[in-house]
Amino acid sequence: MKQKIFPSLDAAVADVPDGARIMFGGFGGAGFPNNLIQALARKGTKNITAISNNCGTRDGELGLMFKNGQISHVIASFPGPHANYFQECFAAKEVTLELVPQGILCERMRAAAAGILGFYTSVGVETEVAAGKEERIIDNQRCILESPIHADYACIKAEKADALGNLTYRLAARNFNPIMAMAAKTTIVEVEEIVPVGTIESENVVTPAIFVHRIVQAKGIRYAG
């Protein structure tokens, strides 16, 4: 059986090519795969499309990769008040941005995960996010057509994994991570701890192993707001 546990962060991202579409978990400083982000910064992958709620906290989270000029397109809901490197790249037109309402961002990823090719929603009707989208009326409500968001990789953060790839998350650090794990072709998770198979109670598994392809142990890093 193929081993999912990788010996190092660098090994876990070694094959990520230039131009990759990558989802990054995290919200409000919690649940960001900061060690994997640093590994991608060391590797120097360029021309990345990043899919994430936020665009970094100064040097932290995705900030480092904007500072390094590694990201060329972002799909995000709230770049954030301390995303200064993103804002510099955006102002210089080195990065393009698709702003998506937060819930629609996860629902579009969930659609990709679930084999759903599109869905109609009333969220965003008559706003900037409706531009170029098909509009129709269902049940007397105006709604717009939203499409799935796919990715080549998801870089996520969990608390514990077993060798099969079953995951648990700590407190509100769960956020986008389980959705991204399901949506990407290859899911890479950094975890605080790898535990023996069978020690995570089956009924407590949040992300089932089928969605996880690479596991690497690393002490989590947080960046203050």
Number of residues in contact with another protein, rule: CB under 8 A? 51
Asked if 23 touches another protein (CB under 8 A), the answer is no
Q: Is 127 in the site for another protein (CB under 8 A)?
A: yes
* Residue 131 contacts another protein per CB under 8 A: no
Exactly one of 103, 136, 193, 197 binds another protein (CB under 8 A); that residue is 103
Chain centre distance of CA 202? 25
Write out the two tokens for 157. Answer: 């953060």
Closest to 154 measured CA to CA, from 63, 8, 32: 32
Contact region for another protein (CB under 8 A) — 16-24, 41-49, 121-129, 208-216? 121-129
Question: Which of 49, 52, 175, 187 forms a contact with another protein (CB under 8 A)?
Answer: 175
How far apart (Å, rounded) are the C-alpha atoms in residues 225 and 204?
Answer: 31
Terminal-to-terminal C-alpha distance of the chain: 42
Complex with another protein: residue 13 or 212, whichever CB lies closer:
212
Using a 10 angstrom Cβ sphere, with 0-12 exposed, 13-18 middle and 19 or more buried, the burial of residue 126 is: exposed
Q: Using DSSP bridges, classify how beta strands 151-162 and 167-168 pair: parallel, antiparallel or unpaired.
A: antiparallel
- Beta-strand ranges (E) seen in the chain are 21-24, 48-51, 71-76, 96-99, 119-121, 135-138, 141-146, 151-162, 167-168, 184-195, 214-217
- Of residues 55 through 94, those in contact with another protein by CB under 8 A are 55, 76-80, 86-87, 90-91
In 7-53 the beta strands, taken as DSSP E runs, fall at: 21-24, 48-51
Stretch that binds another protein, among 23-31, 34-42, 60-68, 208-216 (CB under 8 A): 23-31
Instruction: Examine residue 209 and tell whether it contacts another protein (CB under 8 A).
Output: no
Paired residues of 154 in beta bridges: 23, 187
Please say which residue, 16 or 71, places its beta carbon nearer to another protein.
71
Q: Which among 8-16, 60-68, 124-132, 197-205 is the span making contact with another protein, rule CB under 8 A?
A: 124-132
Of 5-13, 58-66, 169-177, 210-218, which part binds another protein (CB under 8 A)? 169-177
Residue ranges in contact with another protein by CB under 8 A = 27-31, 53, 55, 76-80, 86-87, 90-91, 97, 99-104, 106-107, 109-110, 121-129, 142, 169-179, 206, 222, 225
